[in-house]
Chains A and B, each alone.
Chain A
Amino acid sequence: MKYPLSLTVNDENYDILVEPYHTLMEAIRDGIGLTGTKCACEDGRCGTCTVMVDGQLVKSCLMLGLQANGKSVLTIEGMGSPDDLHPLQAAFLEHGAVQCGYCTPGMLLTAKQLLDENPNPTEDDIRSAFVGNLCRCGVYTHATEAVLSVAGEENR
């Protein structure tokens, strides 16, 4: 039996019905139709489904949809748009941190959370932040460069 779920995603309110066993990732992708949030591992390791819930980083395959009732979610679609890229989105492109692009949304949200909390991260801080994001194309070196380019001047 489906239950009602009310939540805000990228500043828009949604009232949808979800099964109690549906994850937040499924609610976002299948219930709301925002498919920028990806699924790759189903067990929280890879970070492709990373979103922000009330300002905190969440792997949306590890949270039930109903647990997000009343909460505010930010997905990749809310981070920037093709006409108005977030500086991190532009930096990922500029620095070659995008290959197949499947892990990119999750990495970008992880990077955003890092800079929200620590505008001047060191390379070590960035490596610690990206520990939960797997990328099979191996963009790690370029992703680190991209985040550093957006971060404070002193750590470049």
Chain B
Amino acid sequence: MAVVGTSTKRIDGIEKVTGTAEFTTDIVLPRMIHAKLKRSPYAHAKILGIDTSKAEQMPGVRAVITAADLPDVRLGVLTLDEHLLAHDKTRLVGEPVAAVAADTPEIARAACEQIEVEYEELAPLFDPEEAIKLDPPVVLHEEYEEYEKLLEIAEMDERPPNLWQAYRIRHGDIDDAFKKAEDEGGYIIENRYATGYVHTACMEPHGAVAQWSSDGSLTLWAGGQSPYIARDGLAKALDLSPSKVRVIVPFVGGAFGGKLTVKEGAIAASLAHKAGRPVKIILTRAEDLAATAARTPFIFDIKDAVTKDGILIGRKVTSILWGGGYSGEGILKPIFSTHLYPGSYRLAALWVDSYGVYTNRVSGGALRGYGCAESAWAVETQMDIIARKCDIDAVELRINNLLTEGERTAITMPAHAFSAHECLTKCADAIEWETPSESLESPWYRGKGIALGNKYSFAPTASSTELKVHEDASCELRTSAVDLGQGAYTILTQIVADEFGIEIDQVKLVTPDTAITPFDHVAGSSRQTFHTGNATRMACDDAKRQIRELAASKLEADPDDLEVSGGRISVKGSSKSIEVEDLFVVEMLAGKRPAVDEIIGKATWEVTASPHDPNTGQGEEPMAYMGHGAQAAEVEVNVETGQVRIRRFVSAIDVGKAMNPQGVEMQNYGGGCMGIGIALHEDMCFDANGEMTNASLMDYKIPSIVEMPLNEYMESIIVEVPHQHGPYGAKGAGEIVVVPTSPAIGNAIYDAIGVRIWDQPLTPEKVVKAWKEKQASGNGSGS
């Protein structure tokens, strides 16, 4: 029976509900010692000297390292601007400057306090609009021009010294669009939006365990999103050949973009080398929140030209990503955020200038939705404002502006498997869009909002898998795809079971280990179902081809006339068949062995892409695929306290083919939950020195159950418009589910109380302030 498309229970579930699943935090090795980091208390300072002698003399201390103990290489994702340990300067509070390994975590922490670092404090720079100036008050990276860069940025007459990313879109005649809107009775709508500081706040903090072998090779256990990115990063940081590095990914307690690289792992490895003992490093919650990469804020200035009938004809955007001390995993965000400017809409003219700048705060990283969730906040609030300005229903206005299948977006992405209309209308129906919210007794107000979203999945990219067939006809899939909780292992298992016509429990998954499992790019960009799914099907095909060829002579048939299913190889249209087991022979003392070769199917699925011109944003097919989704919220707002309750929430996403419908529902609800936190209350706060002031889960408020609507008011809708290249037509689901959430909630707040809040999160303080301003002016602000 087919299992693809059914709600197969997660294959790693038993281990997770019984506490036997081993996470990085649970790993214990013989003679293992513990690492702690000495971090900078300053946002910006020169390091004049580091004295580790007192720390080294403490009983129980086994190794102390500083930048001097490490290869002098700069690391990074595409702009290599960061040392593992601060070299001559620190550029954010919490930047590691030294590390200690000791018998216990307590000794290591005490030893860190004994390390004396002499700093010369420098003026910090926090304001992105100051940072982007040609003549900024402070320059963070004086040696920027010397850095190795793997990505071309837009040409500029003169690069502002703190700028690390510039990207432009030049599509159509933007001046003509604004002129047309003015001349023909249309509208020009211009607003500024901002997003806040958000942290992935995974329940499992960042950590790693490092162990060296006597042959000079390193094994690292780390719950990251890509064993191969980790392997290559470690090799570069420690000046090793990648073949000397083995990365094993245990269970991962959430990642959401925050575990792409393993900086702590490289530090642990260096300490382990010096100490000659295995080293474990687990960040404290405070370190995890304050000093690992975050979703840093964007500022969006957006100006739309709209006809009087509500047709969007031109859009001009300037955005700045408030990067931190280092460009990090945020490097592509100023580019990827632009995907939402056309989004699902037809746009004759689009003109974008998108920048990323250094500031002395936490580095910009990835977080579910990677730039798209941020720009959706601006774009989908604009759409609501436009609808109200034109006096057209917000759903109808969006529909009137949608592309159709086969068109290209203003950034040249083909609109294929274009499901925006279906997502939007199904979402609207579910929240009873046509029926206004009931009135409540003051001070409570109720309102509904809706928003559309996209998430593109990046390219170029590739996934390889291997599929070994055993003598009992069970299959073993070797993959470096990572299950971060999203259910990848279960979906890949379902695919193998279906391709071989065997039961789920006859499939064994060999999880990521670079010594065993082949290359897979990353558990990111909603790519594993699509890419690893394809690679898995292809590896199954390859293994079945081998089986047919091996069986052909035994069955006296042409391999093309054979089919493999349920452990049997049969001649099509005949009763002749043999068992997979018959392809193996009995070996004395060794059980059974393959009669010829091991049956191992191999495949690589690769998607190439034509790179976009950074000066025009135009290309051929820039991404692997384009995902669609819509979400709607009904909110209740208390205008006296500013409290916003989500009463009702609908998430309708297109996954092409729901490989595991319950898994999609889990993404719809889980993504909605994270989206609610980001929209309403998640906010990393900093003091005047650039230090995070709410670095605990007590104070950095991720949603708890009370922020969620009651179960009867949660709705998950699965839309299935097959993608021509997806396995079974499938697309990813992991990120689109947080993209429309914030604007849907913001639009609902407007519907309830007639105020706009432009900067996330939409906290009670901001709601009360906006409401009071509206009362004072006797008018709604914004629209």
B252 sits at the interface (CB 8 A): yes
Residue in B17, B487, B704, B710 whose beta carbon sits within 8 Å of that of A134 in the complex: B704
Q: Are B254 and A138 in contact (CB under 8 A)?
A: no
Instruction: Report the Cα distance A98→B11, complex, angstroms.
Output: 11
Residue in A45, A98, A123 whose beta carbon sits within 8 Å of that of B10 in the complex: A98
Instruction: Report the Cα distance A48→B698, complex, angstroms.
Output: 14
Q: Are A131 and B18 in contact (CB under 8 A)?
A: no
Instruction: Report the Cα distance A81→B15, complex, angstroms.
Output: 9
Q: Are B666 and A99 in contact (CB under 8 A)?
A: yes
Q: Are A136 and B714 in contact (CB under 8 A)?
A: no
A89 sits at the interface (CB 8 A): yes
Residue in B9, B15, B21 whose beta carbon sits within 8 Å of that of A94 in the complex: B9
Q: Contact mask B250-290 → A, CB, 8 Å, 1/0? A: 01111010000000000000000000000000001100000
Candidate in A85, A102, A108 with the most chain B CB atoms within 10 angstroms: A102
B72 sits at the interface (CB 8 A): no
Given A101-B251, A144-B705: A40 and B18 within 8 A (CB)?
Answer: no
Which A residues are in CB contact (< 8 Å) with B708?
138, 140-141
Candidate in B12, B20, B673, B697 with the most chain A CB atoms within 10 angstroms: B697
A121 sits at the interface (CB 8 A): no
A41 sits at the interface (CB 8 A): yes
Given A43-B698, A46-B203: A38 and B25 within 8 A (CB)?
Answer: yes
A142 sits at the interface (CB 8 A): yes
Among A29-37, A52-60, A64-72, the stretch in contact with B: A29-37
Given A45-B697, A82-B20: A93 and B669 within 8 A (CB)?
Answer: no
Looking at the assembled complex, report how far the CB atom of A28 sits from the nearest CB atom of chain B, in whole angstroms. 11
Which A residues are in CB contact (< 8 Å) with B706?
127, 131
Given A40-B697, A42-B284, A96-B663: A82 and B704 within 8 A (CB)?
Answer: no
Q: Are A43 and B17 in contact (CB under 8 A)?
A: no
Q: Are B19 and A75 in contact (CB under 8 A)?
A: yes
Q: Contact mask A127-138 → B, CB, 8 Å, 1/0? A: 100110111111
Q: Which residues in window 110-126 of A have CB below 8 A to B?
A: 123
Looking at the assembled complex, report how far the CB atom of A43 sits from the nearest CB atom of chain B, in whole angstroms. 5
Looking at the assembled complex, report how far the CB atom of A125 sits from the nearest CB atom of chain B, in whole angstroms. 12
Which A residues are in CB contact (< 8 Å) with B710?
123
Q: Contact mask A73-114 → B, CB, 8 Å, 1/0? A: 001110111100100011011101011111111001000000
Given A40-B697, A93-B13, A94-B9: A138 and B284 within 8 A (CB)?
Answer: no
A39 sits at the interface (CB 8 A): yes
Residue in A42, A139, A140 whose beta carbon sits within 8 Å of that of B285 in the complex: A42
Looking at the assembled complex, report how far the CB atom of A41 sits from the nearest CB atom of chain B, in whole angstroms. 4
Q: Contact mask B185-226 → A, CB, 8 Å, 1/0? A: 000000000000000111111000000000000000000000
Q: Are B18 and A82 in contact (CB under 8 A)?
A: yes
Which A residues are in CB contact (< 8 Å) with B670?
99, 137-139
Which A residues are in CB contact (< 8 Å) with B515?
none
Given A82-B14, A85-B14, A131-B704: A37 and B19 within 8 A (CB)?
Answer: yes
Instruction: Report the Cα distance A93→B18, complex, angstroms.
Output: 11
Which A residues are in CB contact (< 8 Å) with B697?
40-41, 43, 45-46, 134
Residue in B20, B201, B666 whose beta carbon sits within 8 Å of that of A136 in the complex: B201
Instruction: Report the Cα distance A62→B704, complex, angstroms.
Output: 20
Instruction: Report the Cα distance A139→B698, complex, angstroms.
Output: 20
Candidate in B485, B663, B703 with the most chain A CB atoms within 10 angstroms: B485
Which B residues are in CB contact (< 8 Å) with A134?
203, 697, 702, 704
Instruction: Report the Cα distance A62→B674, complex, angstroms.
Output: 27
B631 sits at the interface (CB 8 A): no
Instruction: Report the Cα distance A14→B200, complex, angstroms.
Output: 38
Given A98-B13, A134-B697: A38 and B705 within 8 A (CB)?
Answer: no
Which B residues are in CB contact (< 8 Å) with A41?
285, 696-698
B388 sits at the interface (CB 8 A): no
Q: Are B669 and A101 in contact (CB under 8 A)?
A: no
Range for the number of chain B residues in contact with chain A: 35 or more
Residue in B18, B484, B705 whose beta carbon sits within 8 Å of that of A77 in the complex: B18
Which A residues are in CB contact (< 8 Å) with B758?
none
Q: Are B16 and A141 in contact (CB under 8 A)?
A: no
Looking at the assembled complex, report how far the CB atom of B343 sits from the nearest CB atom of chain A, in whole angstroms. 25
Q: Are B696 and A137 in contact (CB under 8 A)?
A: no
Closest chain A residue to B738, Cβ basis:
A138
B165 sits at the interface (CB 8 A): no
Residue in A79, A90, A98, A136 whose beta carbon sits within 8 Å of that of B16 in the complex: A98
Looking at the assembled complex, report how far the CB atom of B677 sits from the nearest CB atom of chain A, in whole angstroms. 9
Q: Are A138 and B674 in contact (CB under 8 A)?
A: yes
Instruction: Report the Cα distance A131→B468, complex, angstroms.
Output: 46
Q: Are B9 and A144 in contact (CB under 8 A)?
A: no
Closest chain A residue to B674, Cβ basis:
A138
Q: Are B205 and A38 in contact (CB under 8 A)?
A: no
B616 sits at the interface (CB 8 A): no
Closest chain A residue to B737, Cβ basis:
A138
Q: Contact mask B1-13 → A, CB, 8 Å, 1/0? A: 0000001011011
B575 sits at the interface (CB 8 A): no
Instruction: Report the Cα distance A19→B662, complex, angstroms.
Output: 45
Q: Are B486 and A99 in contact (CB under 8 A)?
A: yes
B396 sits at the interface (CB 8 A): no
Candidate in A89, A133, A143 with the most chain B CB atoms within 10 angstroms: A89
Which B residues are in CB contact (< 8 Å) with A42?
284-285
Q: Are B203 and A85 in contact (CB under 8 A)?
A: no
Which A residues are in CB contact (< 8 Å) with B204?
38, 40, 100, 102
Given A96-B666, A101-B253: A140 and B673 within 8 A (CB)?
Answer: yes
Looking at the assembled complex, report how far the CB atom of A2 sits from the nearest CB atom of chain B, in whole angstroms. 11
Closest chain B residue to A101, Cβ basis:
B16
Residue in B485, B487, B705 whose beta carbon sits within 8 Å of that of A140 in the complex: B705
B711 sits at the interface (CB 8 A): yes
Instruction: Report the Cα distance A123→B705, complex, angstroms.
Output: 11
Q: Are B19 and A35 in contact (CB under 8 A)?
A: yes
Candidate in B18, B256, B697 with the most chain A CB atoms within 10 angstroms: B18
Q: Are A100 and B25 in contact (CB under 8 A)?
A: no
Residue in B106, B254, B284 whose beta carbon sits within 8 Å of that of A100 in the complex: B254
Given A42-B284, A96-B666, A100-B484: A141 and B711 within 8 A (CB)?
Answer: yes
Q: Which residues in window 366-400 of B have CB below 8 A to A?
A: none
Which B residues are in CB contact (< 8 Å) with A44?
698
Q: Are B665 and A137 in contact (CB under 8 A)?
A: no
Closest chain B residue to A80, Cβ basis:
B18
B22 sits at the interface (CB 8 A): yes
B23 sits at the interface (CB 8 A): yes
Looking at the assembled complex, report how far the CB atom of A124 sits from the nearest CB atom of chain B, in whole angstroms. 8
Given A43-B697, A102-B203, A127-B706: A138 and B253 within 8 A (CB)?
Answer: no
Instruction: Report the Cα distance A42→B669, complex, angstroms.
Output: 27
Which B residues are in CB contact (< 8 Å) with A29?
26
Given A96-B663, A130-B705, A144-B705: A76 and B203 within 8 A (CB)?
Answer: no
Extra contacts, 5 of them, besides A35-B26, A98-B17, A138-B674 (Cβ < 8 A), are A42-B284, A42-B285, A93-B17, A138-B670, A145-B711
What 6 pairs between A and B have smallest CB-CB spacing?
A36-B19, A138-B673, A100-B485, A101-B16, A102-B253, A138-B670
Binding site for B on A (CB under 8 A): 19, 21, 29, 33-46, 48, 75-77, 79-82, 85, 89-90, 92-94, 96, 98-105, 108, 123, 127, 130-131, 133-145
Q: List 19 A-B contacts (CB under 8 A).
A: A35-B23, A37-B19, A38-B204, A41-B285, A43-B285, A75-B19, A80-B17, A89-B18, A93-B13, A96-B7, A98-B16, A99-B486, A99-B666, A100-B253, A134-B702, A136-B202, A137-B670, A138-B708, A141-B673
